[in-house]
Chain A
Amino acid sequence: MKIMSNASEIVFSNYGMYDLEDELELILPNTSIKFHRISDNAFSYFRKNSEGKIIEKIIPVKSNDLKIELAPIRPLNHPARRTTHMFLKFDKSIHLSENSAASIFIHCPIEVGIFLIHDSIHDSLDWITCDPLNSRFGLYGSPDTGTLCKYAKVSSATDYNDSNSYLDGVLQIILENTLSSSQSISKVVFPITDNALYYQNSKTILDGIKITLKKRAAVNIADVTTTSLETDWSKSPTWEDKTANTHMEMGLE
């Protein structure tokens, strides 16, 4: 199943389930994926990514009822899995008056996961990033005690349908300033493993986050927590082992 991309007339594959019979080809921006049956109980897997890297695998199978799910996943794997935190730098800082609240949408980078489904089990087969240049690391804090994060410069989105296919998903940020002075927010750091991803066709949305600016003892802090999203979009399988995360506390500038 393929769709026609509006932007460049290139046919890209939608997110979703695909039956794996004899041949299956999935096309993403700068990436091609091919499954080919090589025997009654084995498939070959071939993937060429945007950086020209080729991955080939042999997939032995037991069941004839095999499916592949193409779904957005958290952007934690490229260039290597080193952290569970995201550092999003806003292209324009957000000004919040004293005792005020606001809600914004932003583009949060994503990666694409390929899952093998057999007997209702989702096996993580491979992952891809279609935007490797926006997949870099950043440090929040000092070199000895800081938090290593995946770093991305992000712009604001208009609504949940504004995501760039295969590149990013829309994340809602609810901001609340309980302080008695105005504040500017130019970045957010949070453990993204708490945020589920949802897809529809080639669009992605994520669970939101809530940033509460408050005073703790004599220090102003930004308390970042995850807010669950209620949607009828399909929920992406979890690529990585989900570990329990606490919320994040950031210092204010």
Chain B
Amino acid sequence: MVLEFLQSLSEMQIVGELTVLSLLIGGIIMIGGVIIAKIAKLLFHKYYAPSLPKDTAQNISKLIYFGILIISFLGFTSSQGIDLSGIMVAGGIFAVVIGFATQSVVSNLISGLFLIVEKPAKHGDTIELPDMGISGTLLDIGTFSSKVRRFDGTVTRIPNEKFFTSNIRSLTLSTVRRADATVGISYGSDIDNAILVMKNEIFHTMPFILQIPEPEFRIDELGDSSVNIHVFVWHPRDDWSQAQPILLNTLKRALDKSGIEIPFPQRVIWSEKD
């Protein structure tokens, strides 16, 4: 019964030598290929990916998935008796036409490959793209685009070509990062004493600030109303929130506690006596 049914399918020609049966076999090969690719990807993510760096795991996963799909496609074409060499020749000419038409798509694809090879940033890195005013965590470098989760929680999709040609500032490549703030003290205040009280306050209340290298204090400017001191401190790269946002508050608290004046802009006007 089944054999007879298959026999009848093999006799139903669609185009040339292409029959319904061969098309059915090709379809089964493609569906099987997709299922196997998904299972292989799933198994890889479950058993091997956890022990690999996140970006390497993502790249290998894509390689496995698309590799199996390509093999399935080759299986499909051979099951249909399609001669690929003809397609290659025709494809070469066609590719030029398609290339012009889909220049940006191809450019994004190639840029994506270069990004995977060069690795200017990895999945999970905190990055800043100053040209585009984007900063956040790199979620994925995809085939045509990359995704960055900004600090406000939204996700921005960036075409790979733009991402590749942009300046990329990595905030997580170094072991430590530097935070800084400028504070002004009055001309009548003792600079050395002001530095000492700020240094002590940083030491006592900011445990994430590194002791080596020590906090650095530079007299930045003799301003119109104040002597401006620029303070530089180093902190572990993941603890930016424990340094930069609270540094200025700490410095002001230290100066307030010691009675050192932080002057506001003022101007002395001398008037000539009659």
Contacts and interface: CB of A to CB of B under 8 A. Distances in A.
B28 to A, nearest CB: 48
B61 to A, nearest CB: 26
Interface size class on chain A is 20 to 34
Interface stretch (B14-22, B45-53, B233-241): B233-241
B175 A151 contact: no
A232 interface: no
6 contacts: A78-B207, A79-B242, A82-B238, A136-B207, A137-B208, A143-B234
B173 interface: yes
A133 B177 CA distance: 21
Contacts of B242: 79
A230 interface: no
Interface residues of B, number: 21
A171 B242 CA distance: 32
B173 A144 contact: yes
Interface string A139-172: 1100111111001000000000000000000000
Contacts of A82: 236, 238-239
A36 B38 CA distance: 52
A152 to B, nearest CB: 9
A64 B209 CA distance: 45
B210 A144 contact: no
Given A143-B234, A146-B176, A151-B210, 18 more contacts: A78-B207, A82-B238, A89-B212, A132-B207, A136-B203, A136-B207, A136-B211, A137-B211, A137-B235, A137-B236, A138-B211, A138-B212, A139-B213, A143-B175, A143-B176, A143-B178, A144-B174, A146-B175
Interface string A103-145: 0000000000000000000000000000011011111100111
A5 to B, nearest CB: 25
B159 to A, nearest CB: 30
Contacts, number: 56
Nearest to A149: B212
Nearest to A83: B236
A135 B204 CA distance: 11
A79 B243 CA distance: 13
A148 B174 contact: no
Contacts of A147: 175
A12 B212 CA distance: 34
A144 B207 contact: no
Nearest to B212: A138
Given A82-B236, A144-B173, A147-B175, A139 B210 contact: yes
A185 to B, nearest CB: 16
Contacts of A43: none
A219 interface: no
A139 B211 CA distance: 8
Nearest to A153: B211
Contacts of B212: 87, 89, 138-140, 151
Interface in B217-239: 234-236, 238-239
A80 B239 contact: yes
Interface in A24-53: none
A145 B175 CA distance: 7
A179 to B, nearest CB: 25
Interface in A67-90: 78-80, 82, 87, 89
Nearest to B214: A138
B24 to A, nearest CB: 54
Contacts of A146: 175-176
A90 to B, nearest CB: 13
Nearest to B213: A139
A78 B235 CA distance: 14
Contacts of B239: 80, 82
B133 to A, nearest CB: 25
Interface in B154-182: 173-178
Given A135-B207, A138-B210, A143 B236 contact: no
Contacts of A89: 212
A139 B176 contact: yes
Contacts of A145: 175
A140 B213 CA distance: 9
A148 B176 contact: yes
Q: Ordered nearest first, which 5 A-B pairs have the shortest CB separation?
A: A138-B212, A79-B207, A136-B211, A144-B174, A137-B210
